[in-house]
Amino acid sequence: MRKPIAICLFASVIFTGAQVAELQPGLVLTWQVGEVKSSTVVPNLWLYVPAGKQPSPFVPAGRFTATFDGFVNIDLRGDYSFHATGKGGVKLEVNNAVLLDLKGIGGVAQAKTKNVRLNKGANAIKVTYANPSKGDAQLRIFWSEQPDKPLPHEPIRNGQLTHLSSASLAQASLVETGREIFIEHRCQRCHASEGAGIPELAMSGPDFAAIGDRRHRGWMAQWILDPKAQRPAARMPKLLHGDTAPAEAAAMAAYLSTLKGPAKPVVEFPNADFEAGKELAGQLNCVGCHTLPGAAAVKGKLSLNHVNQKFPAGELVDFLRAPNRHFAWTRMPKFALTSKEAWNVSQWLRLNAQAHAEPKRDEDAVVIARGEKLVTTLGCINCHNHKSENKFKAPKLAALMADKWMGGCLADEPHGKSLHFGFSAPQSAALRAFGATDRQSLHRHAPAEFARRQMRVLNCNNCHGELDGFAKLDSIGLKLRPEWMQSILAGTLKQRPRPWLPHRMPAFPARAKPLAQGIAQAHGYAPRTVPEPADVDAKLAEVGRQLVGVDGGFSCIACHGVKNREPLQVFEAQGINFAQVGARLQPEFFLRWMLAPLRVDPQSRMPDYFDDDARSVLVDVLEGDAKKQIEAIRQYLRQGNKMKIPVMQ
């Protein structure tokens, strides 16, 4: 008893101290390569770094240590155990007691701690990891609230890991924020930096090809004159200043309006179904990022009142169907809308948006020539693809010493010919903090960091965890294989996993591969699924086929379809077709899910077929051993479209 009591007393001291400053979500993760250190905040105790790659944008490649620091918070005192898997060395301390100290862990080796008593509230936790001398670095630490039960350890639930902030962490966070602002505003398109870099270094703005067809001239003039007046969160800078700015913006818009493509065939659309358009806009959760026409403005969301001013007839339909056609890195989701769906949505938006009639304007060759000169000399072609010669020059990033980050684009007020982004004081401070670094982080792609940042940029949490059928993102990489994630993010998945749900998972093709691989690595998995060592166990798969059927099985097919067969009788919620499951789920997740679905997702309608002792109600199949039965079902599901139909009556 002495050891648990000592730990509890220590925890109470830590908890009391933690009240001085409010605990923040996530753990502090400090990377160290040689003498170089960098800290950030991460939501879990997982990592994966391919051999020879840098673990963070802010440290170089090389042998590294990763130290996780913070607290694990529980509601009631109890006994727990921890489990580490991966490759490398790991030391785990909880409330200053060393629970694990391993020089190397590998693969699925068992590295389980003894039971430890944790106190109610915040318990200090520290994990020190060292990457292996050869091969990829990998670590996943789970825990168990039922350490004496034969159930797999599970992720520490979202929100239970916290940390205390510090001055050094605040500074590191400021640099991270500055780097993100630099990237998202495409500063690297003007201030070039030599060498291979992160994926976003290739990120450009919308293509100028045929922009005269796609946008109204009047809207372009207003946008060029002051982008932030049209969209407060606009990334594009204000190019023009002074009394001549309105006329120059009009000239640039006049030139851009001459950039047209081949004549499009006339398309006859039926009368719009406005109710269907409104309903679909709701199903697509447009309000996650936008305020709909006629609605009051909401900070951080783009109003759609302007669609009539912006889009000529027919162009809003094309944009809704393929928003990435002229802008690969757009944040606008691709929903794979049909022509009819896009027509109904576009017309419902136009009906409710501010009315607009684009005035006819005479062509003026002098004005157009003036506009072309401005477009080619003000830096537009640095961000926008265009066939004309780019005559704008800006200093390379290496030439911008720290003192240069006080003026120019970062000046408080626009002046001269400098671009003006209108950064807030905190944004400017963050950019200057980033500018004070060596900026080598722009040339170090860390997929896990990329994924966390892009999910924030794309507002993924506005749907995930908010809409029915969209899982929370805190452990999505533990659940889904990276190849499957890449397919759904690219929009190439042939069959929707849940076609009965009204909501849709959008596609972001330009980001699909690095985002899927980054999500996997952030959850401690390789960027590509490691092939299983053997083919499907046919004998075991046949047992699995029996187990999912109605004759001596669990009747899983009541809710799950099998290939082209519909489920027999859905009770509360339909399940994903069994032909898709094998390619979709990670084996570790499948085991935890099958054993205790409500522990994985408290909102799940999936029945619980096994008890806390991992025993099955079907005692005559595989000795009633739940884990063996689950593996038999997994072997059956691995066959995909080659699986045989189970007994369904």
Mean pLDDT of 27-31: 98
pLDDT in tens, 476-499: 999 999 999 999 999 999 889 999
pLDDT in tens, 127-177: 999 999 999 999 999 999 999 999 999 999 888 999 999 999 999 999 999
Give 489 or 108, the one with higher predicted confidence: 489
pLDDT score recorded for residue 140: 96
SS3 track for 103-122: EEECCCCCCECCCEEECCEE
Mean pLDDT of 349-371: 94
Weakest-pLDDT range from 45-49, 189-193, 340-344, 353-357: 189-193
pLDDT score recorded for residue 5: 34
| 399 CB-near residues (< 8 Å, 6+ apart) | none
Mean pLDDT of 563-567: 94
Mean pLDDT of 414-427: 88
Instruction: Please tell me the class of the 538-642 domain.
Output: mainly alpha
Q: What residue segments make up the domains of the chain, in order of their start?
A: 2-164, 166-258+365-444, 263-362, 447-522, 538-642
pLDDT score recorded for residue 18: 42
Percent of residues, the chain, with pLDDT higher than 90: 81
- Amino acid identity of residue 586, one-letter, is Q
Is residue 105 within 8 A of residue 90, CB to CB? The reply is: yes
Is residue 143 within 8 A of residue 156, CB to CB? The reply is: yes
- Amino acid identity of residue 355, one-letter, is A
pLDDT score recorded for residue 13: 41
Residue 8: pLDDT band (50, 70, 90) is: very low
Pick among 2.60.120.1560, 3.20.20.70, 3.40.50.920, 1.10.510.10: CATH of 2-164: 2.60.120.1560
pLDDT score recorded for residue 109: 60
- How far, CA to CA in Å, does 585 sit from each of 1, 444, 482, 637? 42, 30, 9, 10
pLDDT in tens, 530-561: 888 788 999 999 999 999 999 899 999 999 99
Task: State the Cα–Cα distance between residues 566 and 561, nearest whole angstrom.
Answer: 5
Provide the angle, in degrees to the nearest 10, between the axes of the packed helices 245-256 and 217-225: 140
End-to-end CA distance of the chain: 57
Given this chain, do its domains 263-362 and 538-642 carry the same CATH topology?
A: yes
pLDDT in tens, 306-324: 999 999 999 999 999 999 9
Mean pLDDT of the chain: 92
Residue 613: pLDDT band (50, 70, 90) is: very high
pLDDT in tens, 619-637: 999 999 999 999 999 999 9
Weakest-pLDDT range from 25-29, 206-210, 500-504: 500-504
Concatenated DSSP letters of 425-462: HHHHHHHHHHHTS--GGGG---HHHHHHHHHHHTTGGG
- Structurally, at CATH architecture level, domain 263-362 sits in Orthogonal Bundle (1.10)
287 class by beta-carbon count within 10 Å (0-12 exposed, 13-18 middle, 19+ buried): middle
Task: State the Cα–Cα distance between residues 459 and 331, nearest whole angstrom.
Answer: 9
Task: State the Cα–Cα distance between residues 634 and 636, nearest whole angstrom.
Answer: 5
Helix or strand run (H / E) with residue 129: strand 121-130
pLDDT in tens, 263-304: 888 878 789 999 999 999 999 999 999 999 989 989 889 999
pLDDT score recorded for residue 107: 59
Residue 185: is its pLDDT beyond 60?
Answer: yes
Alpha helices for 240-354 (secondary structure H): 245-256, 274-283, 307-310, 315-321, 339-352
pLDDT in tens, 226-266: 999 999 999 999 999 999 999 999 999 999 999 999 988 88
- Amino acid identity of residue 517, one-letter, is Q
pLDDT in tens, 496-507: 999 998 899 999
- Report the relative pairing of strands 27-33 and 36-42 from DSSP bridges: antiparallel
- Amino acid identity of residue 406, one-letter, is M
Weakest-pLDDT range from 64-73, 140-149, 385-394, 467-476: 467-476
Beta strands in 9-77 (DSSP E): 24-25, 27-33, 36-42, 46-49, 65-74
Residue 106: pLDDT band (50, 70, 90) is: low
Binning the chain into helix, strand and coil, the percentages to the nearest 5 are: 40, 15, 45
